[in-house]
Amino acid sequence: MIEVRLFATFREGREKIVYFEPTKAACPADVLDELGIPYEEVAICLINGFHSGLRDAIKDKDVLALFPPVGGG
């Protein structure tokens, strides 16, 4: 399973953590499509703590973390 951790406003109306079968999520863009999150709203996309592009491959047991911009001061 792929573990998807959502942060900040991405959690609103969704779960904090969502799991996907690897067959249903080949890349972060697939996960965003499933969750209804527009690509342009993603400020940070990490796979296992490393920066990732939205079309980079994800595999079984990966942890995907998605963040909207949180830049206020």
Partner 1 sequence: MAEDSRYIRQTMLPQIGEKGQKKLAQSKVAVVGCGGLGAPVLTYLALAGVGNIRMIDDDTVNLTNLNRQFFYTESDIYQEKCKKTADFLQERNTKLTIEPLCERLTDKNVKRLLAGVDVIVDCVDRIETRKHVGRAACGFRIPFVEGGVHGFYGYVLPVLPGESACLECMAMGTIEEKPPIPALGAVAGVIGSLQAVECIKILLGLSHVMYGKMLQYDGLYGEFTEIPVHIRADCDCQKFNKIVNDESHMQ
Interaction of residue 44 with partner 1, rule CB under 8 A = yes
8 Å CB contact between 51 and 45: yes
List the structure tokens of 70: 């949180």
33: left (phi over 0), alpha (psi -120 to 50) or beta: alpha
CB closer to partner 1, 8 vs 24: 8
13 touches partner 1 (CB under 8 A):
no
Binding flag, residue 55, partner 1 (CB under 8 A): no
Binding site for partner 1 (CB under 8 A): 5, 7-9, 11, 16, 40-46, 49-51, 65, 67-73
